[in-house]
Amino acid sequence: MAILDVDLATPPCHAHARQQQAHADEQQDAGEEEDEQLLLLKGVRHLCERGTITKLPARYVLPPSDRPSPGDDEQPPRSSCVSFPVIDLARLRVPAERAAALAELDAACRDYGIFQVVGHGVDGGGGGAMLDVARRFFDLPFEERARYMSADIRAPVRYGTSFNQLNDGVLCWRDFLKLVCSDDLAGVVPSWPDAPTDLRKVVSAYARSSRRLFKELMEASLEALGIRSGAAAEMLADCDAGSQMLMVNCFPACPEPDLTLGMPPHSDYGFLTVLLQDQVNGLEVRHADRWVLVDPLPGSVVVNIGDHFEMYSNGRYKSVLHRVRVNSSRPRISVASLHGLPPERVIGPAPELVDDDKNPRMYMDTDFATFLEYLTSAEGKHKSFLHTRRLITS
């Protein structure tokens, strides 16, 4: 049965040969069902571009227990905002203020797993331009975007939809362009979309400034964690050559936003994620056993702890569970830059942070290949990957 409100072609019925017709109808329904599923995999923007949708297609409807609590129609309710810690990079750079700023950073990573950064220079490195070019990319005709569609989660450039398209039972109201940025940016940029014409230039400038921010925050947090200088220097060299993935997300306006999510509850792979978003809020994090809307300060970028940092810090820093809700009137663009160590690097707790008495080792070692393998057979929601790595489950 067609469950979309947009038109799907339906061949005419004939009055005679009822039984044959019933059979044909069944086949047709099955065909329509298949067409519809194929259509949904072309993404939410494509779906919306085909005609006005007034009802959420069933594939996007979450079971009641997973739905966001009803928000006001335009934006999630402001009452659920918490002001997340603000880290001022300028203070980290002033020797007399560094110790106090490091203590604040350490507390933010432990208590929230997410913070806002000001004085970061990312805007100067092209945050506004990045959001603008992202919006223009999603505005391109579908055929242009579809050139980068791939079901292969390993593809370095990939246009896709939902969260983990391979395994999602319920689809998410989100399309994305994934761009893997290796340390040799010049080597990968030619494989990125060539439209809009300024995309490669703008995105590579943004990717570089986000990587600089990642390194500066890593340097500060390694100091805050008390990592020996030799080991810290090795980690920072790995950050220079580290993995970086840009997820350029588009969340179109949604006809029934309280029934679905733009992204399901998940934590990010890697050490730190630098998140840029436009004027439209939607990110919620799990804090003190409830979902809290992130309402960032103008000009700030949001940074969150990923699974690798939780493992490396032996649980001292928490990778934050987060999700994205959508709304009925305003499309939203966000750009998440996920940073980690080189893909071949094995991640495990830092020796300085493990002792047999008070801080027993909480996680086993892991690597990127194990993660990819995990994703092909699991949805990857919640903190499920991290839990497969836990040695102590209490």
Ligand X SMILES: O=C(O)CCC(=O)C(=O)O
Give me the 250-269 binding string for ligand X, x by CB under 6 A, dash otherwise. -------------x----x-
- The residue range among 103-111, 133-141, 211-219, 274-282 that interacts with ligand X, by the rule CB under 6 A, is 274-282
Please identify which residue in the block is written with the tokens 């940074």: 303
Identify the residue among 322, 339, 381, 389 touching ligand X (CB under 6 A). Answer: 322
- Total site size for ligand X, rule CB under 6 A: 12
Identify the residue among 162, 249, 327, 366 touching ligand X (CB under 6 A). Answer: 249
Kindly report whether the peptide bond that precedes residue 196 is cis, defined as omega within 30 degrees of 0.
yes
Q: Interface residues for ligand X in 280-299 (CB under 6 A)?
A: 282-283
162 contact choice in ligand X, Fe ion, none (CB below 5 to 8 Å, kind-dependent): none
No. of helices (H) and no. of strands (E), the chain: 12, 12
Residue 194's alpha-carbon distances to 140, 141, 150, 177, 202, in angstroms, are 12, 14, 17, 13, 12
CB of 387 to Fe ion, least distance (A): 17
For residue 221, state whether it binds ligand X (rule: CB under 6 A).
no
Identify the residue among 114, 222, 275, 341 touching ligand X (CB under 6 A). Answer: 275
Contact 174/263 with Cβ under 8 angstroms? yes
For residue 277, state whether it binds ligand X (rule: CB under 6 A).
yes
Nearer to ligand X, 144 or 278 (CB): 278
DSSP 8-state code for residue 81: B
Q: Interface residues for ligand X in 324-343 (CB under 6 A)?
A: 324, 334, 336
Nearer to Fe ion, 121 or 265 (CB): 265
C-alpha closest to that of 133 among 184, 205, 188: 205
Contact 305/318 with Cβ under 8 angstroms? yes
Nearer to Fe ion, 36 or 268 (CB): 268
Q: φ, ψ for residue 136 (rounded to 5)?
A: -70, -30
Please compute, for residue 76, the number of CA atoms within 13 A of its CA located in the half-sphere on the CB side. 25
Residues at the site binding Fe ion, with contacts judged by CB under 5 A: 268
For residue 300, state whether it binds ligand X (rule: CB under 6 A).
no
For residue 245, state whether it binds ligand X (rule: CB under 6 A).
no
Max CA distance (Å), the chain: 89
Nearer to ligand X, 101 or 324 (CB): 324
For residue 181, state whether it binds ligand X (rule: CB under 6 A).
no
C-alpha closest to that of 120 among 93, 91, 89: 89
Give the 3-state secondary structure of residue 284.
strand
How many whole angstroms separate alpha carbon 389 and alpha carbon 383?
A: 10
- 86 backbone φψ class: left, alpha, beta (φ>0; ψ -120 to 50): beta
How many whole angstroms separate alpha carbon 182 and alpha carbon 247?
A: 14
For residue 161, state whether it binds ligand X (rule: CB under 6 A).
no
CB of 187 to Fe ion, least distance (A): 26
* Binding positions for ligand X, rule: CB under 6 A: 247, 249, 263, 268, 275, 277, 282-283, 322, 324, 334, 336
